[in-house]
Homo-oligomer: A and B are copies of this chain.
């Protein structure tokens, strides 16, 4: 973490990875970013993807999302916002809900813990999966 933070050099690879993340709202996996990046830099390596995702996360330019699955998803929008996660297909959607920052103070006051942030996600079934579940029965 501390040595990741000193990363400062802007390479083609890092720039491309950030552009790919900023250009989607699908909260992609590292592997999806890799596939997209290869269309522009064919011999880019997965290690470089992970290293740069780490750097971008350390500098607060992106967020890493980990919701129970075995892999992480990444979000090009670094501002706190809430997500909906489909329990069937794993899709992650942005929610247009006000962020409850006052809760952080409330927790800090009531517990005397030092609170720096919070996260909230909703679970359920997305439109596509609701439809398909009906069709299967």
Binds B, one of A6-14, A20-28, A42-50, A121-129: A121-129
- Do the beta carbons of A122 and B118 come within 8 Å of each other? yes
- Do the beta carbons of B125 and A107 come within 8 Å of each other? no
Interchain CB contact (< 8 A) of A118 among B112, B118, B123, B130: B123
- Do the beta carbons of A122 and B114 come within 8 Å of each other? no
Q: A112-B127, A118-B123 are in contact. List 17 more A-B contacts (CB 8 A).
A: A66-B68, A84-B111, A84-B113, A96-B110, A97-B103, A97-B107, A103-B122, A104-B122, A113-B122, A113-B125, A113-B127, A114-B130, A115-B123, A116-B124, A117-B122, A117-B123, A120-B120
Q: List 10 A-B contacts (CB under 8 A).
A: A64-B68, A66-B67, A66-B68, A93-B111, A96-B110, A97-B106, A107-B122, A108-B124, A112-B127, A118-B120
